[in-house]
Structure 1
Amino acid sequence: MENSGLVIVDKPADWTSHDVVGRMRRLAKTRRVGHAGTLDPMATGVLVLGVGKATRLLGHLALTEKGYDATIRLGQSTNTDDAEGEITAAASAAAVTDEALHAGVAALTGRIEQVPPQVSAIKVNGERAYKMARKGEEVELKARPVTVHGFTVTGVRRDGDLIDVDASVACSSGTYIRALARDLGASLGCGGHLTRLRRTRVGPYDLGMARTLDELAGDLEILPMDEAVAAAFPRRDVSADDARKVAHGGRLPAAGLGPGPVGVFGPDGTLLALVEEQGRAARPLAVFVP
């Protein structure tokens, strides 16, 4: 019988998210593996994988708040907004004061309009932006609303014309830390790009729960579905009658548990479904019982 649940991986540098999925398919001995929220090859840290039935949770988990530790280099711009690209411009950051730096960070905190990087997975007329950029095409990407809940400078290192800024960021789904680096540099008149990125959290799943691929090869820890859902979403326990209704895709009366997904559990604690409340009814998003 297929083991279903979440695996919290500490992604190594220079691996794509798809590389990690491929490794997990071999470790878990199943093709049914997916991930919630892509990490660029340069980035390390929390990558949430779903195995078996848990792949149906991933789209909902991808929408939760995320946390990052990052290093931003001021004084150089690149064509990818990170260290994997080519330097396209350089302007001395030596005159940037700590006060100006903190003001620039504050301006990028809260609800902001952010233009995604040219080299990103966003589709433009059905084609990925990064594929168009690689062909030398100019990609017109529209600004999108994102929320930066926290943007805190944790260290500043000055070296001639360059400044390396360490920061921790908490943000909504869809926020590009590379774009924050680019926009901070642009606002300070010296350009900027991302040189280090480590994801510390996806929703309730943090680095304390994450395991390296080598550790997982020795002991494959799969977080059971019921624990994964209870950690990430509001919980609703229902009667045997309501459990039967949910198991057959039926709706329940709303219980006022919020706009996002709610985990529904039967009288014996079994995970039954994810539901979403709309008006007076809670409709199933995904049913997990046979």
Structure 2
Amino acid sequence: MPVIAVDKPLNLTSHDVVDRTRRARKTRRVGHTGTLDPLATGVLVLAVDASTKLVQFMEADSKDYLAWVALGASTVTLDTEGPVDSVASVPNLDANAVSVALAGLTGPQQQIPPQYSAIQVGGQRAYAVARAGGEIDLPARSVMIHALELLGVYPSVQAAPRHFSPTPDGWAPHADGRAFTLPQPLGEHPTLLIRARVGSGTYLRSLARDLGTALGVPAHLAGLVRTRVGRHRLEHTVPLEDVAEADGLDDLEALEFPRLEADERLALQLRQGKRPEHPAVGRYVVTLDGRLVAVVDGDGQTLKVVRAWAQ
């Protein structure tokens, strides 16, 4: 234990953050629940020591972002790492037309990942092949984009808001709010500020590319802040420099599944790996006197143990 939500700084990889946490907490057992690109900032959820066993249950958590999408230029990396590979003039943008394009990208989607990604094909990382001048045929993947909301249209990234505060609907521009640091822009390009809620495996860089395609112009992701992963919100994250002393959440607090309270007999059966009869349907956390017993899947007749915890 514990599970710690860190505010990842700009220009660090997720692995950099894991390495620094290992050194700060004097342990090799540190993992994360979902990569955040070096040019993105915000919520990166870390699992420390025994809590690394929870990673498998949190990798599928939905995520919220603020995304700055620059129109009129695309790059080989789909973000500001570049270089620029296509430019075009951008017609006057109508907010309604952008909202229609966003609606078309919402819901179940088939999304092609970026060439510069950690996806493996035939034992090769896509980014390694791309950096060597090659290209891998990356098939489209099924992703879920729950919501896309246009927060504003601006003449450039530099003119778009940089100060935000949390609201019941997510983080929103606020003059007296928190300042976010974005990568150096690639020029004066019309920019869309978007609030996104997406499922696991969604690439916001690919979303920026696809939004540009829907609008008929090249595009790239000019900035990205992850504001939520599952129950972990940006306003409650720990600065990386404070990770050594962070309390975080214990295993039971970190799991978001509904709970089933067991008696001694049921708890023992689950810890023995048995499949006791039970009418529950779906995934549950099973507890006994407030202590974590197991994560189970119910089919309406029996409970199947996914992971059990010793007494």
1:238 to 262, 271, 281: 262
Q: Which runs of 4+ in 1 moved over 6 A?
A: none
Report whether the alignment pairs 1:227 with 2:253: yes
Q: How big is the shift at 1:161?
A: 7.3
Q: How big is the shift at 1:288?
A: 2.0
Pairing 1:148-227 to 2, within 5 Å after superposition: 148-159=145-156, 162-217=189-244, 219-227=245-253
> Residues of 2 paired with 1:61 and 1:255: CA distance?
25
> Residues of 1 paired with 2:52 and 2:235: CA distance?
22
Report whether the alignment pairs 1:270 with 2:294: no
CA change 1:283–1:212 in 2 (3 A) is same
Q: How big is the shift at 1:54?
A: 1.1
> Residues of 2 paired with 1:98 and 1:132: CA distance?
38
Q: Is the 8 A contact 1:10 1:45 kept in 2?
A: yes
One-letter code aligned to 1:288: W
Q: How big is the shift at 1:94?
A: 3.2
One-letter code aligned to 2:265: D
1:98 to 86, 95, 98: 95
Q: Is the 8 A contact 1:93 1:161 kept in 2?
A: no
1:80 to 77, 82, 94: 77
Q: Is the 8 A contact 2:280 2:300 kept in 1?
A: no
Task: Point out where structure 1 has 5 or more consecutive residues left out of the alignment.
Answer: none
Q: How big is the shift at 1:115?
A: 0.8
Q: How big is the shift at 1:279?
A: 5.5
Query: In the comparison of the two structures, how many residue pairs are matched?
Result: 281
One-letter code aligned to 2:191: D
> Residues of 2 paired with 1:64 and 1:161: CA distance?
35
Identical-pair percentage? 42
- Secondary structure (helix, strand or coil) at the match of 2:78 reads coil
Q: Is the 8 A contact 2:2 2:247 kept in 1?
A: no
Q: How big is the shift at 1:212?
A: 0.7
CA change 1:98–1:235 in 2 (3 A) is same
1:41 corresponds in structure 2 to 38
1:282 corresponds in structure 2 to 303
One-letter code aligned to 2:39: M
**Scaled by the length of structure 1, what TM-score is found?**
0.92
2:280 corresponds in structure 1 to 256
> Residues of 2 paired with 1:135 and 1:51: CA distance?
35
One-letter code aligned to 1:221: D
**Scaled by the length of structure 2, what TM-score is found?**
0.86
One-letter code aligned to 2:296: V
More deviation in 152-161 or 136-145? Answer: 152-161
1:19 corresponds in structure 2 to 16
Q: Is the 8 A contact 2:7 2:239 kept in 1?
A: yes
Q: How big is the shift at 1:222?
A: 2.4
Q: How big is the shift at 1:240?
A: 0.6
Give a deviation string over 1:178-220, Cα, whole Å, max 9, x none: 1110011112121111011111111111113211112334x32
Q: How big is the shift at 1:278?
A: 3.9
Q: How big is the shift at 1:253?
A: 2.7
Task: Point out where structure 2 has 5 or more consecutive residues left out of the alignment.
Answer: 157-186
Q: Is the 8 A contact 1:75 1:161 kept in 2?
A: no
Q: How big is the shift at 1:97?
A: 2.7
> Residues of 2 paired with 1:269 and 1:208: CA distance?
27
Aligned-pair RMSD on alpha carbons?
A: 1.7
